[in-house]
Chain A
Amino acid sequence: MDRAETQMAGKSVAKGKRKKAVRGASRGWSTNGAQAAPAKWVGQPIRRKEENRLVSGKGIFVDDEKMPGMLHIKFVRSSYAHARITRVDVSKAEKFPGVVCTLTGAEIKKQVQPFIEIGPGGAQKIADYPMAVDKVVFQGEPVAAVVAETRLAAEDAAEFVEVDYEPLPPVVTAEDALKDDSVLHSAMGTNRNWHGVFEYGNVEKAMKQAAHVVHIGRLHFHRFSSTPLECNVILVNWDPRSGDIEYHCNNTFPSFASQFLAPALGVRIDQIHMKSFDIGGGFGIKITSYPYMAVCALASRKAGGRAVKWAETRIEHMQASAHGNERTFLDTRVALDKNGVILAIDSKHVDDCGAFPRYEPLGCVIWAQVLPATYRVKNIRIDMHQVVTNKCPVGPNRGYSRMQHLWFMERVIDICGQTLGISADDMRLRNYIRKNEMPYKTPNGCVYDSGDYANMLALAKNLVGWDEWKNKQAAARKDGRWIGLGIGSTLDSGTNNFGQARIINPDAPFSGQSKVGIVKLDIYGEVVVSMGSVPQGQGHETAAAQVVADALGITPELVNVRPGFDTAHNAYTGHTGTYASQFAVTGLTAIHGAAMKLRGELSRLAAWKLQAKEKHLEFGVGAQGPEVRVKGTQKAINYWALANLVNVNNAGMPESLWDVTLNCRHVFHANFQIPDVKRKYGNLTLTYAAQVHAAVLEVDRETFQPKILAYACVDDCGKAVNPRIVEGQVHGAAAHGIGAALLENCAYDSDGNLLAATFSDYTPITAMNMPELLYGHLESPSPFTLNGAKGMGEGGAAPVHTICAALQDALYPSGVIIDDSHNTGDSLFRSLQKAESGGYAGMVRVEHQRASR
């Protein structure tokens, strides 16, 4: 394992002071036996290639696109969370001027197959149609659609669609869902759509041997979302001549969407053509837009093959696109030795996936990528349940499924630490996986590739001024002030092995991971890259250009990276999309592989043309652009001439070079196996980026508002391909997490009405809420990836853990247990009232079994 290079860029961005980061010497590609290339551009914090286009209004988003004869669709949605539909009458709407046609759920049911369900058993019986057929199961669920010449006409006419409902009892909480008093999907017969026990080591033995067993009552991770600036947008044409469906849309996992759409719509998968250009953020929440993609295609077909556009409004997005998973943690027992080292954890977790599983129940295993979190605990039993409720279906939301579990683990660490009188930093140091234990095999067979959590913590503490604040805190406490210090340690597991789906459903026909990169030399010698990714702001064009520039010995400006995703580029597999922190590994490895294939072809061509041996050739940029030359001579051939040889001037080329296409495609593979389904054991993810955040905050004694006084983020994503992009992603993820911790909450009332359907109530974080972020960076290169990089960007919701920890520290002396991931001035006021009235009694209980040990 390489020694981690500590690289810290102590900067205070809000003040605009940018000290130049001191970076270690760049290193070559590390492993996998690939041909080494000098890493000149990889590792440089160059400006993003896409920036100028995006900030000068030249971005192309789906809603900028038009098709001839394009129509507009408006959905009519349920105002009820749970109700039987007794009547849908579209006759008045159909007579409205400008209306071309309408669609109802009952009509759609005759034309499509319900979507595939990933879950086994009863879950297979859920009939997930793209519009409600005879009952609605969440507020905002579409029940009908109006298609018209203009968006205005569609919106006007939609008001004339009449729908009668017979309300049914809504199921709003996970605990109520488990009771099955009211069942959402009668064919499944229960609201519990998945259940499994993840058990490793010997939990009961450890409990018996422990010095202390800490019992923790109900903890709850709240529901929040990502609110990308651009909502879902779909433009589709179902061509009646070819039968092909052409989508321009911002779905960020198009291969997944196609695999759901093709069987539902009854077309061959090759008939689905998908294209995206620029996307205004995604964070996973756009992965499950396929039901709307289905309705829009059916609308196009019914309208006689005219294109149909849907641009989701913010209220539609908040009510009925996707939210993040909500999770409740019950009956937790933690065994510790006399030094506060955790020996075992036993807990029951109930995940709430909303009205339809869709991408779920994959979340029921994805958390297990980080089963022990950053800790050495060996004995773990998690009794995992997932339920459906009358709320918006969930979708993968930045930090998906792992952040809920990591939050739980961080709460366990802090609650146990406080119960036993061990400080937050010490508790972590006693339990962290050590650097010299890397690569570390977790109890469930995952392999943490590299990392140095203790060093990250030291860096975070140093940045935030931990020791100084500790002293200030002690003084402030005497004055009755509530100052708290908190740490959040998280993992951002990336490059997932889809084989983990077998743990959910042994019949799931997918596994492993793949991505495609295509690098070609076009007719005039231009280097063109097509990516199998769906960038949404992550700077893929820039990172790809850096990798290709290094592979060919040229500069990033000479690399033309095709923005966006297009099935026509044929740069896709069934795993293609941008999700789950992986492009730096999967996408860039594929692109590197393609670039190296191209380099090999260019080398062979040049050797023939220059009458030289390949080993005597070198790649670089000459007076006439990129070229291949014979070392130490004037003999060179540029890319135009090389491309010319193959594409337009190939008479006389020896047959031995006829296999050269200059259009090179490479597919990324990882050495994944299918997990042991019975033991729920196997390697679920390739890389583990880590974040350690530290915060100091004060709860105002008179307003109960938490104020962040200092905030530090330390990130380790292995080799940073572009440190500037990495830092930007860390800032974005930190803002998202702070928003979730303090502002953003998809709250529902007991009738299943979403109380945060607009930004006035959801209050996504703004610049006015942001503290100055102190940023530190550590590089522990991954031994399992070509370039030492790890996927990153999700950030594991570190601020949620960190802020909860700091609140806990501030209010523990007042008797408060932070048991929810979302806290506001109002909720803290009520928590303190609860503490005063003894409401937390019994929430945390400790048995000192063998104090002598």
Chain B
Amino acid sequence: MYAAPFSYHRAASLQEAVKLLQELGEDARLIAGGQSLIPLMKMRMARPTALIDINFVSELGDIRTPKGELHIGALVRHADLEHSAAGATIPLLHDCAAGIADVQVRNQGTIGGSLAEADPSGDWGTALLALDTSVICFGPGGQRTVPLEDFIKDAYTTVLAHDEIVTALHVKLPLKGSGGAHLAFKRCAPVYPTASASVQVMIEDGNMCKDARIILGCVGLTAIRAKEAEAALRGKTLEEKNIRTAADAARAAADPQSDMRGSADYKRILVGTLVKRAIGIAARRARGESVEAGHEYAGR
């Protein structure tokens, strides 16, 4: 389990990292937490010729809250978010962060790396899509801001140019009266979920859904925004019938594949149920209730 030969470069700044990406060419890869890349390299399924380590670039590991926004540095570890004040204010973020893989991965893996990897089963690509999230990218031409829905193009594919780096995520703080939840089913701790659902709702007058965002994870080549499911809730009361319609619409929007995690038919069933339950929890949270939720595990 040794990687194929590669050279190692430590970047002191974003500018230096970009310069190294340009100099070292297409087969160079950035390394941050390394929780996907290193296992792939050890199995020689990934063979970068050079690794550019950005762990020592300062200021990428901060969580800031300028007015109305949450800025998450690309090097923020999953565990940082799990234990952050931001996670406490936006429960959906805590749901997601606290259930990613296992403790070791959460301590080392980064949110920026997870999004840039664009694994179809990654949790962040699903959870953050339920919020208004922009990806801040830095390249030779300076900085640009890409809405998350435009950032991930396909499985393992983003809009990032080879010499571009994710530096931060900017999340709009949900308005008063809104609440969200990220639910996922995992077979055991260290693996990706079989299916996940992120839901953010805004409620008026106790049970009227003013707005809804419903995202499905692990059931397509990218996270899927289930717009018909959202429409089934928007402007309607959050009663069982409407929630069921939304869950059915979510099932129809899913496009899963069969694998060791489950058959396509089963994943479709599962994701609809997760959506249904996530709506319920999101609504309760929107009403100010404190509800524990997140990843669930086989057998328990």
Contacts and interface: CB of A to CB of B under 8 A. Distances in A.
A797 interface: no
Given A743-B188, A759-B190, A760-B191, 17 more contacts: A703-B273, A704-B266, A704-B269, A707-B300, A742-B298, A743-B187, A743-B298, A761-B260, A763-B191, A766-B102, A768-B186, A768-B188, A769-B297, A769-B298, A771-B300, A824-B298, A830-B265
A797 to B, nearest CB: 16
A766 B266 contact: no
A770 B190 contact: no
Contacts of B161: none
A705 B298 contact: yes
Contact of B276 (A702, A764, A830): A702
A760 B5 CA distance: 25
Interface in B239-281: 260, 262-263, 265-266, 269-270, 273-274, 276
B189 interface: yes
A851 interface: no
A760 B4 contact: no
Interface in A303-361: 313, 315
B189 A766 contact: yes
B2 A764 contact: no
Contact of B299 (A704, A743, A747): A743
Interface in A738-773: 738, 742-743, 747, 755-756, 759-761, 763-771
A36 interface: no
Nearest to A154: B2
Given A156-B5, A766-B102, A825-B262, A703 B270 contact: yes
Given A313-B1, A707-B299, A830-B263, A765 B188 contact: yes
Nearest to A151: B2
Contacts of B266: 704, 825-826, 829-830
A246 interface: no
B189 A767 contact: yes
Contacts of B1: 155, 313
Nearest to A761: B260
B300 A769 contact: yes
Contacts of A771: 299-300
Nearest to B258: A826
Nearest to A829: B266
A354 B186 CA distance: 30
B45 to A, nearest CB: 11
B124 interface: no
Given A766-B188, A769-B300, A826 B2 contact: no
Nearest to B192: A760
A829 B298 contact: no
Contacts of B102: 766
The 8 closest A-B pairs by CB, nearest first: A766-B189, A826-B262, A702-B273, A826-B266, A761-B260, A769-B299, A763-B187, A768-B189
Nearest to A709: B300
Interface in A765-812: 765-771
A764 B191 CA distance: 10
Contacts of B155: none
A772 to B, nearest CB: 10
Which of A155, A767, A826 has the most CB atoms of chain B within a 10 A radius of its CB?
A: A826
A159 B3 CA distance: 12
A743 B193 CA distance: 14
Contacts of B265: 829-830
A763 to B, nearest CB: 4
A515 B265 CA distance: 54
Interface string A699-726: 0101111111000000000000000000
Contacts of A159: 44
A375 B87 CA distance: 56
Contacts of A770: 299-300
A197 interface: no
A841 interface: no
Contacts of A829: 265-266, 269
B3 to A, nearest CB: 9
Which of B1, B187, B273 has the most CB atoms of chain A within a 10 A radius of its CB?
A: B187
Contacts of B276: 702
B185 interface: yes
9 contacts: A151-B2, A703-B274, A705-B185, A743-B299, A763-B191, A768-B188, A769-B299, A824-B187, A830-B263
Contacts of B299: 706-708, 738, 742-743, 765, 769-771
Contact of A756 (B2, B260, B297): B260
A768 B188 CA distance: 7
What interface size band does chain B fall in?
Answer: 20 to 34
B274 to A, nearest CB: 8
A152 interface: yes
A145 to B, nearest CB: 16
B43 interface: yes
A824 B262 contact: yes
B2 A315 contact: no
A738 B276 CA distance: 29
Which of B44, B186, B188, B263 has the most CB atoms of chain A within a 10 A radius of its CB?
A: B188
Interface string A670-710: 00000000000000000000000000000010111111100
Contacts of A151: 2
A388 B120 CA distance: 39
Contacts of B298: 705-706, 742-743, 763, 769, 824-825
Which of A702, A708, A747 has the most CB atoms of chain B within a 10 A radius of its CB?
A: A702
B72 to A, nearest CB: 26
Contacts of A703: 185, 269-270, 273-274
Contact of B260 (A747, A765, A768, A825): A747
Nearest to B266: A826
A155 B3 CA distance: 9
Interface in B17-38: none
Nearest to B260: A761
A837 to B, nearest CB: 14
B40 to A, nearest CB: 11
Interface in B93-123: 102
Contacts of A826: 262-263, 266
Which of A155, A707, A766, A771 has the most CB atoms of chain B within a 10 A radius of its CB?
A: A766
B96 to A, nearest CB: 16
A92 B235 CA distance: 69
Contacts of A825: 185, 262, 266, 270, 298
Contacts of A706: 298-299
A315 B263 contact: no
Which of A159, A759, A825 has the most CB atoms of chain B within a 10 A radius of its CB?
A: A825
Contact of B190 (A152, A155, A760): A760
Contacts of B5: 156
A222 to B, nearest CB: 14
Contacts of A738: 299
A706 B296 CA distance: 12
Contacts of B44: 159
Interface in A213-266: none
B106 to A, nearest CB: 13
Contacts of A824: 187, 262, 298
Contacts of A760: 190-192
B188 A155 contact: no
B123 to A, nearest CB: 15
Nearest to B273: A702
Contact of A708 (B43, B260, B269, B300): B300
Contacts of B189: 766-769
A798 to B, nearest CB: 15
A156 B185 contact: no
Contacts of A155: 1-2
A755 B1 CA distance: 20
Contacts of A747: 260
A763 B2 contact: no
A277 B46 CA distance: 36
A834 to B, nearest CB: 13
Which of B1, B185, B186 has the most CB atoms of chain A within a 10 A radius of its CB?
A: B1
Contacts of B185: 703, 705, 825
